[in-house]
Structure 1
Amino acid sequence: MEAVEGSEGSRGSSSPMKLLFVEMGVGYDQHGQDITVAAMRACKDAISSNSIPAFRRGSIPGVSFGQMKLQIKLGVPHSLQKSLDMEKVKSVFPYGEILNVEVVDGGLICSSGVLVEEMGDKNDDCYIVNAAVYVGY
């Protein structure tokens, strides 16, 4: 999912999008071994420290708030990709049309160092997901 500056679209998108910026985040699930939780946290991390007043204030001539488009790319360990609940991941985004979500091999499975049954742990695995959120119109 590469976007070329000044292009009318980006590879891998279902609709043309003019790219404005890319937000990046990392999410973890240390207890419970739920890759969807890690992916949702990665997306929240990517968007949580940004404000996008340009869409609401008309700073981009001819572009309204309703025209915001998103493309999401997630790095998820290959063995866990099939258990990812994409609808839950998409629910993290409060607005913007999600054009596509691409899941690629990435992320990490490592030890959290402890198994805590009271927190739902099946083992001591920690799941890590990386997210890139492409924002445009």
Structure 2
Amino acid sequence: MVTSPAAALPSSLLCPSTKPRTPPLLSSRSRPSHSRLHLRIRSPKPRNSEAVPRSSSMEAVQSQTRDGQGWAEEAKADAAMTLLFVEMGVGYDQHGQDITAAAVRACKDAISSNSIPAFRRGAIPGVNSDQMKLQIKLGVPRSTQHLLDAERVKAVFPYGKIISFEVVDGGMICSSGVCLEAMGDKNDDCYIVNAAVYVGY
């Protein structure tokens, strides 16, 4: 029986392209471990570090919204304020479509679960409730901002001098699911406002 030269060769040499490629086995030492995987996320560095202001981000935003003499006066007040803590709240107006009512509730929500005995018990030398300063920042839907009564909102705070009052795009308008004319509804819109109250002296 005559065999062809090709038959005498191993099948692996006849058609190497069809040979299944199996990745080499990894030893326990070389196998990557997910538990050892560490990700480091770095924020981009500013091109000019000297150009970055040292003030808080809130002050940076406020500096873009002020102008003229009012900006200069409030900037001085902000720079002189020592921030102690920040209170945050959310307010809703489900019926009546009153954005001021939602803002008032947001501010009450921010301050109603806090007590500040330090201003009354002398915990901070030379500081009492007369020296308390407040910065108010509200997130309000843009389409309703012109309807906001700032004075009604400011009246929520029993103590402290309000040195800045800022309104930015935020909050939400969503459906309450029902329109009740008896409660003053013009539609089923529910207004939501977010509030941040910065307290210091």
TM-score surpassing 0.5?
yes
Alignment of 1:78-97 (within 5 A): 78-97=142-161
Q: TM-score, normalised by structure 2?
A: 0.63
State which structure, 1 or 2, has the greater radius of gyration over its C-alpha atoms.
Answer: 2
Whole-angstrom CA distance in 2 between matches of 1:36 and 1:132:
15
Whole-angstrom CA distance in 1 between matches of 2:196 and 2:173:
19
1:39-82, Cα deviation, whole Å (9 max, x unpaired): 00000000000000000001011212200000000000001001
* Equivalent in 123, 130, 135 of residue 194 of structure 2: 130
* Equivalent in 98, 118, 122 of residue 34 of structure 1: 98
Instruction: Give the match's secondary structure for 1:25.
Output: strand
Q: TM-score, normalised by structure 1?
A: 0.92
**Residue number in structure 2 paired with 1:18:** 82
**Residue number in structure 2 paired with 1:118:** 182
Q: How many residues align?
A: 131
Bigger shift: residues 56-65 or 18-27:
56-65
Whole-angstrom CA distance in 2 between matches of 1:109 and 1:55:
37
Amino acid in the other structure paired with 1:33:
Q
- Which 4+ stretches in 1 moved above 3 angstroms? 10-13
* Equivalent in 53, 64, 79 of residue 117 of structure 2: 53
Quick check: 1:3–1:19 contact (8 Å CA) kept in 2? no
Percent identity over paired residues: 76
Structure 1 position 83, deviation (Å):
0.4
Whole-angstrom CA distance in 1 between matches of 2:153 and 2:132:
18
Amino acid in the other structure paired with 1:88:
R
Whole-angstrom CA distance in 2 between matches of 1:133 and 1:76:
15
Q: Let me know the Cα RMSD of the aligned residues.
A: 1.5
Quick check: 1:55–1:68 contact (8 Å CA) kept in 2? yes
Instruction: Give the match's secondary structure for 1:82.
Output: helix
- Quick one: higher RCO (CA 8 Å, sep 6+), 1 or 2? 1
Quick check: 1:31–1:126 contact (8 Å CA) kept in 2? yes
Structure 2 unaligned blocks of 5 or more: 1-53, 64-73
Higher strand content, 1 or 2 = 1
* Equivalent in 153, 162, 178 of residue 98 of structure 1: 162
Whole-angstrom CA distance in 2 between matches of 1:3 and 1:96:
22
Quick check: 2:129–2:159 contact (8 Å CA) kept in 1? no
